A = this chain, B = another copy of it.
Amino acid sequence: MQAPIEPQDEAHLYDRVAAHIAELIARGTLRPGDRIPSVRRLSRQQGVSVATVLQAYLQLENRGLIEARPQSGHYVRARRISALPEPRAARPSSSASRVSVKSLVAKVYRAAREPHIIPFGAACPSPELLPTDKLNRILSAIARGAGGAGVAYDPPPGLPALRRQIARRSVEWGCALSPDDIVTTVGAMEALHLCLRAVARRGDTVALESPAYYGLLQLIESLGIKVIEIPAHPRTGMDLDTLEEMLERHRIKACLAIPNFNNPLGSAMPDEAKERLVAMLARREVPLIEDDIYGDLYFGDVRPRPAKAFDRKGLVMLCSSFSKTMAPGYRVGWTAPGRFHDEIEQLKFAQSIGGATLPQMAIAEFLENGGHDHHLRALRRRLAAQVARMSEAIAEHFPPGTRVSRPAGGFVLWIELPPGTSALAVHERALEHGISVAPGPIFSAKHRFSNYIRVNCGYPFSDLIEHAVGTLGRICAEAAEA
């Protein structure tokens, strides 16, 4: 509460005071059960009248953010995060499907990038949660002094300084990669694309969690590959019994998974399951393409290991990027593709020669000297608070029968709407209100999850966001009754 509120518009001064406290709660500075400053103290501190503070606190009470306790003052209300049950897992399907999501995804994506839209549809943290200014300053300084190195190609395997930093950090995930294990890429998306191209061809079949990140489905579709969708539990991820059964019944060329904080589920596969997954695939010489972009965004105490940590045969192709933790627009990702390393290097050269040199330099410098660990700690705390706050708002505003995931990391919520609710209708109607959401059917080759939506919690909770959740809740209620 350092910055006093500047009185610009007297009439709505209490709105600003309320927004200030709400922001502190959303950021986790004030936590459930914390006493908030007394009316008198805040009045003095902010240089506003007692009446203004009282009105602000009344507004916060009405919004359910704080509660008055007799003789004791105002407190942050306990969160209602577990008020809603979790969504149900998909049912297994035993046949391979062609994928056809691209036109739907394009439509959703185009809508989501309109300016002024409430970005519940993307899976991006707000730039204000990222080390935006610091990174841009680093890039600025590097560009100024780079000379010819700044404009020169950076051919595969990619910038040595960056590969060293990634290798250094991999020790704490139990991987102990060497810089020579790594190839840098244009974000994780190119890494996944290269890995899939290295191990599967048009007409082949791969296994994939369901629901699955639509970008993976689009990628698979673009390569003419078929998928077997393996149901995933919202807490523990891919159902390994089903996977094993499918491995017996089909000629599966690769398996794709996001074991750590799956998008859209937020599920976290336990270590034993990862070990079993890797062993099960290794017995059959089937590569695992692992997407670990959310691995650093754990809400618990420990950075979970990727499945790659259990790889003994060089069959796990680990892919990641700095898009969810630093700068999506820098397009810096990487893969540690095990025994497919040379093939990936050649494919990378043929596909885009190299990544942009200066952004790679900036990311390497930030990893080395930018306070990356400190940044990640703060980011995790804020994302956890935002996910909690959003869950609470959904519990408050969505129709009865709604279920919501309880992610152990990341920043998206997977919401099951009452049976029969059309997620596509919700998507359309929400857009009319300036709100984007990601409808369930784009997360499945078979267009399942017709009554699910994914919601982004990457933006700091605010009145605007709360209002949008209220609107979205009403739209869902109407769609549920339609």
Mark A residues whose CB is within 8 Å of B. 102-103, 105-106, 109, 113, 124, 126-128, 130, 132-133, 135-137, 139-141, 143-144, 146-155, 185-187, 189-190, 193, 197, 201-202, 215, 218-219, 221-222, 224, 323, 326-331, 342, 345-347, 349-359
Contact = CB atoms under 8 A, between A and B. Distances in A.
Contacts of A139: 139-140, 143, 150, 358
Given A139-B143, A151-B327, A190-B351, 4 more contacts: A102-B350, A189-B351, A193-B350, A218-B349
Nearest to A222: B350
Contact of A356 (B185, B215, B347, B356): B356
Could you say which of A141, A146, A201, A350 has the most chain B C-beta atoms within 10 Å of its C-beta?
Answer: A350
Given A140-B141, A345-B106, A356-B356, A151 B218 contact: no
Given A102-B346, A356-B330, A143 B151 contact: no
A contacts with B: majority SS: helix
A392 B11 CA distance: 82
Given A218-B349, A347-B222, A351-B222, A153 B359 contact: no
A224 B201 contact: yes
A123 to B, nearest CB: 11
B148 A352 contact: no
A117 to B, nearest CB: 14
9 contacts: A124-B152, A132-B151, A135-B150, A136-B358, A151-B326, A193-B352, A331-B355, A351-B351, A356-B359
A140 B138 CA distance: 9
A215 B350 contact: yes
A352 B192 CA distance: 9
Given A187-B352, A222-B346, A153 B136 contact: no
Nearest to A354: B331
Given A136-B151, A151-B326, A350 B218 contact: yes
Contacts of A147: 127, 132-133, 136
Contacts of A219: 350-351
A153 B329 contact: yes
Contacts of A128: 148
A23 B185 CA distance: 39
B222 A151 contact: no
A331 B356 contact: yes
A349 B190 CA distance: 10
A127 to B, nearest CB: 3
B136 A349 contact: no
A276 to B, nearest CB: 30
Contact of A127 (B151, B189, B193): B151
A119 to B, nearest CB: 11
A140 to B, nearest CB: 4
A137 B144 contact: yes
